[in-house]
Amino acid sequence: MKRIMAILLALGMLFSLAACGGSAPSQPAPAPAAPASSGTEEAAPATGGDEAAAPAEVKGLTEAERKKEFITVGTGPTSGIYYPIGGAFATALKDYGYATSAEATNATGQNIQNILNGDCEIAIAMQDAVMQAYTASGAYEGKEAASDLRALMRLWPNYVQLVTTAGTGIKSVEDLRGKRVGVGAANSGVEINARMILAAYGITYDDIQPDYLAYGEAIDNMKNGQCDAVFVTSGLPNATVMELGVQYDMVIVPIDGEGREKLVSEYPYYAKTVIPAGTYNNTEDVEGVFVYNIMLVRKDLSDAMVYDILEGVFANISTIKASHNAANKNIDITFGVDDIQLPLHPGAEAFWRDNGYIS
C-alpha cells in the first residue's frame, strides 16, 4: 500500500511540473488570421475579442522564384491605348525579373474571358463590363456569373466620346434616332458603353442603325459617309479621334442632361466629367462621362506572386507612365483602390493594405 501511495505521489509531482512549464511565463496563443477578404467586406472578429484579427502576412517572391514565372498581359487592339500601356506593364515586369509577353486582343470582352480561361495572368478591362460579367447582368445577363474575376489595381479613366461631323446635324444623344451609329464590336467594352448610354436616354438599337465595328473602322466609315456617329471609349486624347478632328469638321456630342443623371444613378461605376477644351478641336469643355479601367488578375495566382507583381509594377512605374499621357496622369500608387468595385485578389489586398490604402 505504501508503494502504491509513493507512486501516486510521484505522478502528481510530474503533472504539476508539466503544468508549470518551467519558470518562463506562458504566452497566449495567437489569434487565427482572418481569411483574406474580397476587399469589400470587413475582416471576421477574432475569437473571444472585440477587435478584428490581423490579416496573414504576405511577402513577394524571391528573385529565383520570379525567374520561373511567366506573365502574359492582355491588352487591346494595336490601334487603341490598351496596347501600348499593356505593353509597358509587360516591359516593367520583365525588368523586374519575370518572363513576360503582351498580347494584342479585342480588349475588355476578350480579356475577361482570357483571365477566366487562364490565358492571361493580368489584363486590362473596363469596370462596367467587368461588373456586368461578375454579376451576370446587362450584356452578360443569362450567362454564368464570372465570380472568379479579381482586381489587381485601378488604371486610368476611359472617357465615353460620341463623335460625329458637322454635316450630320447631330448635336445631342437624342439626335441619334434614325442614324447610322458605330457602337463598337459586338459585346466589346465600347459596345456595352454605347448600349447603356443609349438606354439611359430611352433609345434602343431599334431606334438606330447600329454598326458593329471597332471605333477605328467605324470612323473610317464615317469619313466615307457610311456612318453618322461613332462611340469611342478611351483615355484622352485618342489618336484616331484627334486625326478625325484635324481632317474634318468634327463635333463631340455632349452626354449630359437627364440621361446622364439616370446613367450615373443606376450605374455607380460611371462618373460625370468633361472633355476639356482643346483636347481635340473643341474650343469649350464638353459634358460627358467616364468609367475606370482596372487591371484584372487570375484568381488562382498565389498571394505572394500577386503581391510581387504589384511591387514590380511600382518599382518600374516610370516605364508605364512613359507609355501614354493617360497612364502618366492616372497610374500611380497614390491613387489607391477606392474606385474599384470588383473584389481584390488577396495578394493585391495585402499589398494595398501594407501601403496604407486599405484599413
Q: Which helix (H) or strand (E) holds 291?
A: strand 286-297
Over the stretch 39-71, which tens digit does the pLDDT of each residue have?
333 333 333 333 445 567 889 999 999 999 999
Mean pLDDT of the chain: 86
- Please list, residue by residue across 325-338, b when 16 or more beta carbons sit within 10 angstroms of its beta carbon and e when fewer do: ebbeebbeeeeebe
Could you please state the CATH topology (level 3) that the domain comprising 63-155+294-354 is classified under: D-Maltodextrin-Binding Protein; domain 2 (3.40.190)
pTM: 0.76
Over the stretch 250-282, which tens digit does the pLDDT of each residue have?
999 999 999 999 999 998 889 999 999 999 999
What confidence score (pLDDT) does residue 53 get? 55
Q: How far apart are CA 218 and CA 81, in angstroms?
A: 17
Over the stretch 75-86, which tens digit does the pLDDT of each residue have?
998 878 899 999
Q: By C-alpha distance, which of 250, 245, 190, 249 is closest to 214?
A: 190
Given a cut of 60, whether residue 98 has pLDDT beyond it is yes
Sign of CA pseudo-dihedral 176, 179, 182, 183: positive
Could you please state the CATH topology (level 3) that the domain comprising 158-292 is classified under: D-Maltodextrin-Binding Protein; domain 2 (3.40.190)
The residue-averaged pLDDT of 189-215 equals 94
Please give, one letter per residue, the 3-state secondary structure of 119-167.
CCCEEEEEHHHHHHHHHCCHHHCCCCCCCCCEEEEEEEEEEEEEEEEHH
- Domain spans, the chain: 63-155+294-354, 158-292
C-alpha cell at 316: 518600374
Lowest mean pLDDT: which of 9-18, 107-116, 130-139?
9-18
Rounded to 5, what percent of the chain is helix, strand, coil? 40, 20, 40
158-292 has the same fold as 63-155+294-354: yes
